[in-house]
A and B are shown apart, each in its own frame.
Chain A
Amino acid sequence: MKVTRRDLLVWSAGAAAGLLVTPVPWKLLDDTSIWSQNWPWIPQPARGPVEVKLSACTLCPNGCGMKVKMAAGWPVGVAGVRSHPVSKGALCPLGFGAHQLNWHPQRLRVARHGASPSTWNEARTAFVKACSEGPVVVIDGYPGRAASSLLQTFAQKHGGSYRAVLGSETRALASYETWSGVSASALGYDLENAQTIVSFGAPLLDGWGTPGRFTRLWAECAAGKTDPQLRLIQVESPLSRTAARAWQWVPVRAGTEAAVAAGVARVLLEERLVSARGPMPPLTLSEAAAQAGLPTDAIRELARTVVARTPTVAIANDDNPAIAALNVVLGSVGARAGIVRRSKRAEPYVSADAAIPNARTVLIDASVPWGFTPQTDAEVFRFAAWDGGSNRPDWLLPAPGFLEELTDVPTAPTSAVETYAVAPSLVKAQHEVQSAAQFLGSTDPTLSTAEKIIHSRCEDLFHGRAGTLLGQEETPLAKLASAQKLEEQLWKGAVWVGEEPHPASLRCELKEWPTAVPSAHAESWSTAWPAPVLPPLATKLYRESTLREAPEKRTA
């Protein structure tokens, strides 16, 4: 048979047409597609045994209960713990990306002296020399921990002082400390029993206090209800997230919250709407209204609403004595559903905001928010897990990152009950890191260790026989067999919860209406974030969506 050119063409055309009705081209297309999805340079997750460990978030002093999903020994995801007595299963949005922070490009991997790399030995030698030449001031951003106790002891032993950088929620309790003599760190808000909450600009639904505590309470008692069991009144200039969700939003001129509080207090006292007694504000109602940009009737109406359903508590965004005085007038200080004393033990802290004179050395713990700069000429040794770039201290020393350090978790700043938990170290740091407490321990061998202090705190708790241990089940501490059992449970993620506060243990004497100028700090979830960097996934919130404005001076 002779094959012609024409036969060849016909055969080729037939084969091409026939191929189209077979699965071959589609299968090839599919295989090419699959092949091209699996390039070797595409990162794939690590394989290994998966387990879930209970811990607590230690990135800020709220200590939210945290479930950490671990794979091949690395944290691969976090979630809240629903049974946690304070955080109630919630984390802040940034917490959900916290497990990626340890690999952030700005992770501090070596000690730095000025702009140059240095070593731990050089840092230690310089610190010991500086301490021998004059007083040392130690600054802590998360007081109450075992590590804080070490920092405090070191400062006292070396003739120095210990200072704390407190969050806006604790600063908002400063006036009660002045008037009652009880440390602000021992005070909290009994929100769960309140029926009306008047917030003067506090971002109650946007990162105030322990994120889950108020949001869960609000969701259960107020959200979407026209006549809610809990009335949230937001006095604030912009329509914030909290204002948008409040039962009532009272828009006022920015910075006039103190005047509104004075106006409300005046109406309450003049119209005898409250049984508690308090000093009459010097501001007249019309003056308060003019400052706030409201009609006088609006303030009068607000005052009546505030006491229409009691108990009521007022919450300030920061230290604002007029709002604290309003609580005194409302009878909400040392009362159920108001400001309560949760602990007998806590001692007052000296604020680090003031200037630090006559110090030779300042040591700053990694828990201090990166934005804080001490007012001092002393040589500054700063610990940080991430390098924020600006605010460069004399010495910048790499600290443990997320879940890389054993720490205990004392009571959250706004909580009405005492709690205690332990966050074990779940991850080994990939480079040489030291916490400030470990560093001080290496310069002074007589100092104890965080582990020993946690152990002794567990023994103290056990011998106190008060409160309950919330773990797999709820166990009254009095029924626990030994301090060792308590410690074991805490290491596994259980939380000790103290007894309900006795409101009457807090008394405030206020002779005249305070005239002190309120603090001008304004914090939100992003500005209060202590680390100089955000989790990379935070870009989903502010760059890959229009949900939030990008936080200033922060990098992801």
Chain B
Amino acid sequence: MSARYGMVIDLDRCTGCGSCMMACAAENNVPSLPQATARTGLTPLLVRKVSNGMDGVARRETFIPIMCMHCEHDTPCVKVCPQQAVEVDKATGIVMQMPQRCLGCRYCMTACPYHARYFNWWDPSWPAGMEKSLNPGVASRMRGVVEKCNMCHARLHSVKEKAAAAGKREIDPADYIPACVESCPTGAIRFGNLADKNDPAAQDAHSPDAFRLLARIGTEPKVYYKSKEAWVRGLAESHSGPGPEINRAEVMGSEVQDG
């Protein structure tokens, strides 16, 4: 039976510490280049700070981790890729990016409604000797390709190998945990198989407080968010919801300037 891996991120628990960003970058051998800025850096998982737009004691702020939403339906990046470098894995629901096929045309970046894709502007490099600290499960990517979150697919591979070595056909769901989920100090990110109604993540996704970003465009993202605060839930559709006006650019990132 095919799985539909997804996440439910409890924004009320997120303190914006950035551990998930660091763990993601370390796990996926994302380089940290001196010339990279907020516009040109690679951040497959990016935590943004957003506010309710008020001042003084009425001001409220929250943090929202943005990564590939792993859209299930009419996946925009898949539709535009001329190289078939992006596909939705039928067995897992994970939107896969194959850098070996990518030509770097960046159509997918334009098509992504969540600004969750990043272009690799430079050859990956590390200070002398630091390549020894790279995760052997993930190959470094070349300049000129697009990168994004793949739900730590290398971890899924190694869990599958472990299961196969033990003579099992199915993996133990508890073994497959993406780096961001593992690193979150508050347990704000719940990961699981959304197709399994007994999975806590699937149950969380059906909570009345759960929402998805830009759900109205019908791409069926597999990353859900959750909050008890109405103004936070209002971030999902920007100006269309009740409550204070939310600056959509703040959430989706068009305010990011060269640093």
Interface residues of chain A, those whose CB is within 8 Å of chain B, are 29-30, 33-34, 36-39, 41-48, 50, 69, 71-72, 74-80, 88-94, 96-97, 99-100, 102-105, 205-207, 211-212, 215-216, 218-219, 223-226, 239, 241-242, 244-245, 249, 251, 430, 535-541, 543-548, 556
- Taking a contact as CB atoms under 8 Å apart, the answer to whether A541 and B185 are in contact is no
For chain B residues 41-91, which have a beta carbon within 8 Å of chain A? 41-43, 46-49, 56-57, 59-63, 83
B130 touches A33 (CB 8 A): no
Cβ contact within 8 Å between A38 and B142:
yes
- Stretch from B23-31, B163-171, B240-248 at the A interface: B23-31
| Nearest chain B CB to A100 CB, angstrom units | 5
CB distance B22 to A538 under 8 Å?
yes
For the complex of A and B, 7 pairs with smallest distance between CB atoms: A544-B41, A224-B12, A90-B185, A219-B186, A103-B130, A45-B134, A96-B22
Q: A103-B130, A544-B42 are in contact. Are A33 and B61 (CB under 8 A)?
A: no
Whole-angstrom CA separation of A195 from B47 in the bound complex? 30
Q: What's the nearest-Cβ distance from chain A to residue B152, in Å?
A: 11
Which one of A29, A42, A430, A541 contacts B18 once the chains associate, using CB atoms below 8 Å?
Answer: A541
Q: Select the stretch in B1-9, B106-114, B120-128, B211-219 that faces chain A.
A: B120-128
15 contacts between A and B (CB under 8 A): A33-B83, A45-B139, A72-B132, A76-B134, A93-B21, A96-B23, A97-B25, A103-B129, A104-B130, A216-B186, A219-B187, A223-B12, A545-B43, A546-B48, A547-B21
Counting chain B CB atoms within 10 Å of each CB, the highest count among A91, A105, A540 belongs to A540
Q: Measured between C-beta atoms, what is the minimum distance from B213 to chain A in Å?
A: 18
Are B22 and A94 in touch, CB under 8 angstroms? Answer: yes
Instruction: Note all chain A residues with C-beta closer than 8 A to B259.
Output: 543, 546
Does B102 sit at the interface, judged by CB under 8 A?
yes
Q: Which residues on the B side are within 8 Å of A104 (C-beta)? A: 127, 130
Closest residue on chain B to residue A106 by CB atoms:
B127
List 13 extra interface pairs beyond A41-B123, A215-B15, A547-B47, CB under 8 A.
Answer: A34-B101, A43-B124, A43-B125, A76-B133, A103-B130, A223-B12, A224-B10, A251-B57, A537-B22, A537-B25, A537-B26, A545-B46, A546-B38
A34 CB contacts on chain B under 8 angstroms: 100-101
Q: Are B37 and A544 in contact (CB under 8 A)?
A: yes
Chain A hits for B21, CB < 8 A? 93, 540-541, 545, 547
Contacts A45-B140, A93-B18, A93-B21; A211 near B38 (Cβ below 8 A) = no
A90 to chain B, nearest CB (A): 3
Chain A residues lying within 8 Å of B41, measured Cβ to Cβ, are 539-540, 543-545
Known A37-B142, A38-B142; contact A45-B183, beta-carbon cutoff 8 A: no
- A79 lies within 8 A of B185 (CB): no
In the assembled complex, the Cα of A230 lies from the Cα of B255 at a distance in Å of 36
- Which residues in B have their C-beta under 8 angstroms from that of A38? 142
Tell me the bound Cα distance from A543 to B46 in angstroms.
12
User: At the interface, yes or no: B117 with Cβ under 8 Å from chain A?
Assistant: no
Q: Which residues of the partner chain A approach B92 to less than 8 Å between Cβ atoms? A: none
A548 to chain B, nearest CB (A): 7
Asked if B19 is an interface residue, CB under 8 A from chain A, the answer is: yes
Decide: B18 and A45 in contact? CB cutoff 8 A.
Answer: no
Interface string of B165-197 (1 = CB under 8 A from A): 000000000000001001101111000000000
Q: What CA separation (Å) do A12 and B124 show in the bound complex?
A: 42
Contact B59 A33 (CB under 8 A): no
User: By the criterion CB–CB under 8 Å, are B22 and A37 in contact?
Assistant: no
Q: Is the CB of A215 within 8 A of B186?
A: yes
In the complex, the answer to whether B142 meets A36 with C-beta atoms within 8 Å is: yes
Report if A244-B62 is in contact (Cβ < 8 Å); known contacts: A103-B132, A540-B21: yes
CA distance A43 to B127 in the complex (A): 10
**Shortest distance between the CB of A54 and any CB in chain B (Å):** 15
* Known contacts A91-B19, A544-B41: A249-B57 contact under CB 8 Å: yes
Contact call B13/A219, Cβ cutoff below 8 A: yes
CA distance A544 to B257 in the complex (A): 10
Asked whether A223 lies within 8 Å of B10 as measured between CB atoms, the reply is yes
**In this assembly, does B36 line the interface, its C-beta being within 8 Å of a C-beta of chain A?**
yes
Cα A418 to Cα B22 in complex, Å, equals 30
Say how far B245's CB is from chain A's closest CB, in angstroms.
19
Most-contacted residue by chain B among A48, A99, A225, A544 (CB, 10 A): A544
The complex places the Cα of A210 from the Cα of B37 at a distance, in Å, of 31
Cβ B183 vs Cβ A100 within 8 A: no
Chain A residues closer than 8 Å to B144, beta-carbon distance = 36
Cβ B142 vs Cβ A96 within 8 A: no
Rounded to whole angstroms, the CA-CA distance of A225 and B16 in the bound complex is: 18
Looking at the assembled complex, report how far the CB atom of A50 sits from the nearest CB atom of chain B, in whole angstroms: 6
A206 touching B140 in the complex, CB below 8 Å, given contacts A44-B131, A79-B182, A536-B127: no
Q: How far is the CA of A100 from the CA of B60 in the complex (A)?
A: 36
By the criterion CB–CB under 8 Å, are A430 and B129 in contact?
yes
B128 contacts A96, C-beta separation under 8 Å: no
Q: Is the CB of A239 within 8 A of B32?
A: no
